[in-house]
């Protein structure tokens, strides 16, 4: 099936008892057994739930994977991945990544003896300098959050396989509509389902998609044992959101292209970070591994003053100042004080995350209204 057909049909089976075309919300904690251990595939809803099963199957199909696992948040999914490791193991991560990922790596798991290296991955060979016998995982985002760097998934996956290292990709910004990391050799894909997959800012959830049966079993054991699972109502909302993912992403991409061009030509804007520009570093990689360039954009101001960035954010009306991204409505944020505040300033400065950097999640509104909103706010400085 083509992507748009998969988004509507993959993993979805009409309810066998009623014929309901939408997967029911199985709002139950437990299931009746005919005899001890003799059940219909479901014992307890932390372990399995039919609504969650349908969503997991749908997500696996969208990422061209075999197994999907859903968690109560994106960080819950990342938590499960790191729990595959042991004290003394090492992880190589991109140096530009979501602040919550940095926080769970450095503030939670580092104290249990797991060592993390945060490096630039725009040049894949740079990774070789950090690999040793203790390296067990390479963790990437592409495009990265919030600097929109592009990382060559296929090149890094080849390095990982050469050294028998697992490779994971946070595919939240791109979504399965734009990019499928498993097709380029990644071992697992992570999504903050909260974002584009849900698409309506009404649910918090995470997911992992893998092909390897053993890896899927290990993650499912952690999922059940640690209990960071989503409820059936949230799973239903995401199943509904996925049905329009392809339509929404087409509009996000169209609007993103227009807004990126508008900002690039604005006299008060210093730099725009969007992988669709031909002069963007690794634009050629983005063209190869992405089907389009998405609706996530970051930009800096020419004077790089925090107070000017704050004034713009306070004066935007359609771009709502809020955490998160990927909803139908446009959102704006200030990474240095919001999503990435947990990253020390010195580390933010290394990747160019300046005080004036503003991140936009361009929604699906009329793009002329979005341009006018930006124009009005920029005119305040």
The catalytic residue positions are 46, 98, 170, 195
User: Is residue 233 helix, strand or coil?
Assistant: helix
Query: Is there a contact between 244 and 174 (Cβ–Cβ < 8 Å)?
Result: no
User: Is residue 64 helix, strand or coil?
Assistant: coil
Closest listed residue to residue 200, CA positions, set 237, 146, 251 = 237
Q: What is the bridge-based pairing of β-strands 188-192 and 206-210?
A: antiparallel
Q: What is the DSSP string of 38-96?
A: B-SS-SBTTT--HHHHHHHHHHHHHTT-SEEEEESSHHHHHHHHHTTS-TT-EEEEESS
Residue 17 burial (CB count, 10 A)? 7
Question: What are 337's two structure tokens?
Answer: 């004080």
Closest listed residue to residue 363, CA positions, set 201, 192, 180 = 201
Q: What is the bridge-based pairing of β-strands 135-141 and 90-94?
A: parallel
Pinpoint the alpha helices (H) of 243-282.
245-264
Report how far residue 334's alpha carbon sits from residue 341's, in angstroms, rounded to the nearest whole number: 9
Question: Which residues sit opposite 321 in a β-bridge?
Answer: 332
Query: Is there a contact between 70 and 45 (Cβ–Cβ < 8 Å)?
Result: no
Question: What are 247's two structure tokens?
Answer: 């339509």
**Rg of the chain in Å (alpha carbons):** 21
Only one residue has tokens 């008892």, namely 17
Q: What is the bridge-based pairing of β-strands 67-71 and 206-210?
A: antiparallel
């Amino acid at each position: 099936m083509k992507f748009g057909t998969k988004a509507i049909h993959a993993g979805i089976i009409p309810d066998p008892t009623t014929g309901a075309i939408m997967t029911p919300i199985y709002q139950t904690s437990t299931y009746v057994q005919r005899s001890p251990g003799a059940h219909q595939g479901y014992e307890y809803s932390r372990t399995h739930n039919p609504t969650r099963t349908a969503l997991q199957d749908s997500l696996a199909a969208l990422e061209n994977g075999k197994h999907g696992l859903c968690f109560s948040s994106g960080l819950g999914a990342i938590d499960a991945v790191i729990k595959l490791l042991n004290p003394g193991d090492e992880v190589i991560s991109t140096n530009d990544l979501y602040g919550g990922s940095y926080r769970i790596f450095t503030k939670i798991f580092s104290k249990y003896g797991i060592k993390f290296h945060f490096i630039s991955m725009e040049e894949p060979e740079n990774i070789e300098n950090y690999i040793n016998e203790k390296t067990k995982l390479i963790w990437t985002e592409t495009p990265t959050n919030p600097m929109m760097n592009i990382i060559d998934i296929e090149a890094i996956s080849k390095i990982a396989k050469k050294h028998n290292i697992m490779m994971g990709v946070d595919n939240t910004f791109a979504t399965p509509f734009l990019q499928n990391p498993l097709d380029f050799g990644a071992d697992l894909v992570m999504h903050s389902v909260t974002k584009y997959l849900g698409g309506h800012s009404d649910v918090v959830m995470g997911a992992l998609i893998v092909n390897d049966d053993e890896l899927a079993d290990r993650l499912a054991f952690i999922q059940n044992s640690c209990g960071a699972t989503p409820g059936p109502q949230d799973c239903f909302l995401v199943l509904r959101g996925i049905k329009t993912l392809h339509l929404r992403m087409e509009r996000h991409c169209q609007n993103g292209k227009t807004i990126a061009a508008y900002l690039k030509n604005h006299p008060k804007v210093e730099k725009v970070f969007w992988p669709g520009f031909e002069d963007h570093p690794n634009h050629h990689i983005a063209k190869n591994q992405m089907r389009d360039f998405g609706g996530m954009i970051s930009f800096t101001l020419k004077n790089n003053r925090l107070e000017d960035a704050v004034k713009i954010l306070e004066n935007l009306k359609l771009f709502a100042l809020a955490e998160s991204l990927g909803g139908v409505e446009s959102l704006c944020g200030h990474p240095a004080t919001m999503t990435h505040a947990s990253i020390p300033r010195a580390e933010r400065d290394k990747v160019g995350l300046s005080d004036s950097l503003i991140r936009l999640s361009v929604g699906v509104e009329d793009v002329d209204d979005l341009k006018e909103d930006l124009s009005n706010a920029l005119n305040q400085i």
